[in-house]
Structure formats: C-alpha cells, structure tokens
Amino acid sequence: MELGIIVASVRGGNDLGTIKSWKETASKEPDILIIENEGEGPVTSYQCGYENSQADIQGYLHDDFFIYEKDWDLRILAEFENPKVGLVGAGGGWGHGLGELYYNSYRIEQLQRLGYCSNTKDADQHGIRFDGSCEVAVLDGYALFVRREVLEKAFHFTPSASGKTLSGGWPVEDLVHHCYDYWIAAMAHRLGYTVRMVGIDCKHLGGQTSTQDLYLDYLRKQGLTDQDIHANSHVWFFNEFDDVMPWRVSEDKRFPGWNRPGA
C-alpha cells in the first residue's frame, strides 16, 4: 500500500515544523502534497489533493499536527491490512451522537462525540490517554488517513448547494471547514467500513485555520462568520446522515477503560 499525505495550508508557506516531524519519524519518507489556498477552508483543498493523488491510503493532516513516534506510518498502514478498515486517525471516540438524535428537535449538542481517546501530549485534558489501537465511531480531524476507495464511493442523499446529488470525493459544495471529520467517519460507516484510531505520540496545536486572516476575509466577502459555518455545517450533517447516526462501537471493541470518568 502506498501512503500519500495531503496538507491544506493557509499559511503562505509558513511551515511550523510539522512536515519535518512527519518525515523524520516515518519509516519511509511519504509523498507530501501541500495545497495552499486563499482562505476557502480545508475541504476544497482536500478535494484538490484527492484529485491529484492516486495513493491507496491518503493522509489528510493539519499543518499544526506534530508526530514524534518513530515508524508511525507502519502502525497506520498495518490497520489497513484489514480490507474492512476504511478510515484511521490519531484520536477518536467510541460514540457519535446522543441517543435522542432524530427523536427530539435538533440541537447541536446532539452531535457530540463520546468517549474520546488519543495519545496527544495533552490527551488527559481532552479525554483518556491511550497508546494502543481500537475501533471508534468518529475521529478528530487533525489526522485522517482514508482508504481512497472510500472517497471514490462517497455519495450524498441530501441535494447539494447546487441542487445535485454528488458522488465521489469530499463534499465541497456543502462543507467549508467544520464537520468534515464527522462526514468522513459517517460516510465510512454508510459504505460498510470500520473506523479505527492509533494512539501515536503526537501534538495538535488546534485553532490555527479559524483564526487566519485569509480564512476570515474569505468568509466576510460572503457575508459569513466562522460561527455561521460551524452552525450550518452541523445542520447539513444532521440532515444528511440519519441513516447511520447515532453510531456506537460495541463495548467489547472499545479501548480499555472506556467507561472511566473523563472518557
């Protein structure tokens, strides 16, 4: 299997050192495609990367995501040896969405993830620290390793902004920045694939795109704010995925200690 990495960046080439961390710790230097955009958010850049990479496994990584674990790529690729695995990340939860979802009037809180685990430097502040691997319902978007065929098969029930039912690739007409991690996990479930996380030693700074002037200016020109994009993305996701949401991983497949306080 070939691993290719795709990075959406609004930094204008101002690398934080993250790409160097990926190269120096991988067993084999991966092909890295950097898509610099004009602030339109990561989803458009991810689609561009998808269209320009034929790698079997495509890693969509944030440009503020550091990896410190030697041979991390071997751990990620090992998960894909199981043909049923369609998506792997570095942090995720065993549940996605509250049980009341679609039974009561929509509230954004209904789409929360449950039982989050990771091995980031600050893992204990966000959930449970876990350095093994396990099945999860949803991943955090800072690291998404996707089997390309999942994106090739992706389709939508809800008509897109253009009035078309799209098939293949990322949902560029419906998502800009938020919820793309929710989307790829739910799409994997829809298509019958398993989602897993691998607790590699890493760090995610967070909040780097939504505070960039290019991104904020792009939204202002459309009369929008990041808060608008956040709200609209969740509503679209809610309407699109009632066929698979809410999602739960069975208790026997969750990470050890999944029911501890803080998970």
What is the arithmetic mean of pLDDT over 56-79?
97
**pLDDT tens, position by position, 207-242:** 666 666 777 777 788 788 889 989 999 999 999 999
Contact 137, 188 (CB under 8 A): no
Q: For the residues of 136-189, what is the DSSP string, one character each? A: -SEE-TTEEEEEHHHHHH-B-SS--TTS---BSS--TTT-SSTTHHHHHHHHHH
Tell me if 219 is assigned to some domain. Answer: yes
Tell me if 213 is assigned to some domain. Answer: yes
Instruction: Name the 3-class secondary structure at 64.
Output: coil
Q: Name the residue range of residue 188's domain.
A: 70-253
Band (pLDDT 50/70/90 cuts) for residue 160 is low
**pLDDT tens, position by position, 134-159:** 999 999 999 999 999 999 999 877 66
* Dist CA 257 CA 263 (whole Å): 8
Max intra-chain CA distance, the chain: 49
Tell me if 15 is assigned to some domain. Answer: no
List the one residue out of 49, 77, 51 whose CA is nearest residue 61.
49
What's the first-to-final CA gap in the chain, in angstroms? 33
Tell me if 64 is assigned to some domain. Answer: no
- pLDDT value of residue 157: 72
Tell me if 11 is assigned to some domain. Answer: no
Band (pLDDT 50/70/90 cuts) for residue 165 is low
Quick check: 262 pLDDT over 80?
Answer: no
* % of the chain residues with pLDDT over 90: 71
Burial of 161 (0-12, 13-18, 19+ CB in 10 A): exposed
Tell me if 249 is assigned to some domain. Answer: yes
- pLDDT value of residue 109: 96
Quick check: 197 pLDDT over 60?
Answer: yes
- pLDDT value of residue 206: 76
